[in-house]
Amino acid sequence: MAEHKQPPRPILFSGARLIDPAGGRDAPGDLLVVDGRIAAIGTGLADKGLPDGTERVLGSGLCLAPGLVDLRVQLREPGEEHKETISSAGAAAAAGGVTSMVALPNTDPVIDDVAGLEFVARRAREMRKVKVYAYAGVTKGLAGKDLTEMGLLAESGAVAFTDGLNAVADARVMRRALSYARTFGALIVQHPEEPALAAGGQMNEGELATRLGLAGIPPAAEAIMIERDLRIVALTGGRYHVAHVSTAESIEAIRIGKARGLHVTCDTAPPYFALNELAVGDYRTFAKLSPPLRSEEDRAAVAAAVADGTIDCIASDHAPHDQDSKRVPFAQAAPGVIGLETLLPVSLELVHKRMLSMVELFRRLALAPADLLGLPQGRLAVGAPADLVLFDPERAWVVDEDRFLSKSKNSPFGGRPVQGRVLRTLVDGRTVFAAEQ
């Protein structure tokens, strides 16, 4: 994780709408940043005296909230730097209000040893933009067989363990992983897809897939894996997190697991509550994801589960691909879309539709992900890191992927009107992004 030595200039945000998911605050106020941390929160702070050289930012009509903590980002470095780098992803994250991102281990080489973790940490320090954390593999080479040295990797900075886009398919391996991780309180993150059922599938199984002549991935492939894993969680008492939930059946299984008191949490990504399988249209590869976009009924179920808290977190599921990976026939195209710069504006649709309060949205985007991984971010509190996003919740714009800072442009939201624009992003009190005025 990046460390920043020199304290930046003090900043006073005055009259902004302060959003604190930890304290439930959504009210106008002032916030003072000194030496990279939140020094004071209240009203009339300017009248109480400010440090010399304090920058003053008028926040009237704007929201000031904790920076987003993105649980699921593919950085592509090392190995595929033509698609993305830690630096380009950091710039995209900052532009999207993301102040902390967690890298999946599916790089080349994969992150399954201490050297891989150290590489990410060193590059993040050099980048000096947003904070970068890393998952390590559950299994060596993400191959689903032999467990990694989880204890050593956790000591070396791995925040949790996942095989990335590969499901841990072997039930015995998953049992061993959950049992081993439990001894030091570590989290196992699963890509929930039964590989044999999903093999060869290109999109959601159903009438549209049949009409397009594409092999389908049944929604049951997701629910079956989750239901199996929850039985293993009950057996081991381990901590288990389901990534990018996309179906109503999966949500119901997770809801039941939570009611039984199992240590289960989950996340989803904006495409799964903002789009459905119709976005595939005439073989539109920018709408090819893993898991795939589902039916309208599933989309509505995901949105409702975000609103009622069954889905704990919203992550970008940022998966950059170059033109050669997407400008091919649908069946040959790589799955995945970019999401760092659309995470906040698309998620804000849930607020604008009155499905979710602003406080609850930032609980899903910042506080819950930080708490899940044991990080101090995600809250507006005196002494907390000044990882902040200042945004205009009403500013309307149209998504134009050509203007994105990510190296790759494979967004499923191109041309979509959205409401909510990031104006400034701070990490430890340093401005890492400022919108052009």
Give, in degrees to the nearest 5, the angle at Cα 171 between 170 and 175.
120
| Residue of 393, 387, 400, 329 whose CA lies nearest to 361 | 393
Per-residue DSSP letters for 231-290? HHHHHH--EEEE-S---HHHHHHHHHHHHTT--EEEEE-HHHHH--GGGGTTT-GGG--S
User: What is the predicted pLDDT for the residue at 372?
Assistant: 98
Asked if 276 contacts 246 with a C-beta cutoff of 8 angstroms, the reply is no
Kindly state the percentage of the chain with pLDDT values over 90: 96
Which residue numbers are catalytic? Answer: 317
pLDDT at 2 over 70: no
What are the tens digits of pLDDT across the range 62-110? 999 999 999 999 999 999 999 999 999 999 999 999 999 999 999 999 9
Overall average pLDDT of the 400-405 stretch: 95
Cβ contact 75:46 at 8 Å: no
CA-nearest of 61, 131, 76, 110 to 426 is: 131
State the average pLDDT over residues 333-341: 97
Rounded CA separation 269/267 (Å): 7
Phi, psi dihedrals of residue 20, rounded to the nearest 5° = -125, 105
Token pair, residue 254, equals: 């997770």
Pairing of strands 37-42, 216-217: unpaired
Instruction: Note the pTM of the prediction, 2 decimals.
Output: 0.96
- C-alpha 252/C-alpha 137 separation (Å) is 28
* Helix/strand/coil for 201: coil
Q: How far apart are CA 144 and CA 137, in angstroms?
A: 9
d(CA 391, CA 385): 18
Tokens at 218, concatenated: 């049944």
Taking the mean position of all CA atoms in its chain, how far away is CA 249? 22
- How many Cα atoms are found within 13 Å in the side-chain-facing hemisphere of 317? 27
pLDDT of the residue at 233: 98
What are the chain's domains?
Answer: 11-64+385-434 (2.30.40.10), 67-372 (3.20.20.140)
pLDDT at residue 141 is higher than 70: yes
Residue type for 180, please?
Answer: Y
Specify the DSSP class assigned to residue 384: S
Contact 271, 337 (CB under 8 A): yes
- Distance from C-alpha of 50 to C-alpha of 364, rounded to nearest angstrom: 33
Question: pLDDT band at residue 5, thresholds of 50, 70 and 90?
Answer: low
Phi-psi region of 151 (alpha: psi -120 to 50; beta: other; left: phi over 0): alpha
What is the pLDDT of the chain when averaged over all its residues? 96
CA dihedral 321, 325, 327, 328 (to 10 degrees): -150
For residue 436, the model assigns a pLDDT of 84
Give the separation between CA 347 and CA 400, rounded to whole angstroms: 17
Q: State how far the Cα of 148 lies from the Cα of 14, in Å rounded to an integer.
A: 49
Select the more confidently predicted residue: 94 or 47: 94
For 108-168, list the strands marked E by DSSP: 131-136, 158-162
Q: How confident is the model at residue 48 (pLDDT cuts 50, 70, 90)?
A: confident
Q: 3-class DSSP state for residue 395?
A: strand
With a cut of 50, say whether residue 296 has pLDDT above it: yes
HSE, side-chain direction, 13 A CA sphere, residue 351 = 19
Q: What is the DSSP letter of 60?
A: T
User: What is the rounded CA–CA span in Å between residue 312 and residue 383?
Assistant: 25
Q: Which amino acid is at 271?
A: P
Residue 6, pLDDT score = 67
Strand partners, 70: 101
Q: SS3 of 59, please?
A: coil
Q: How many residues does the chain have?
A: 437
Residue 156 pLDDT exceeds 90: yes
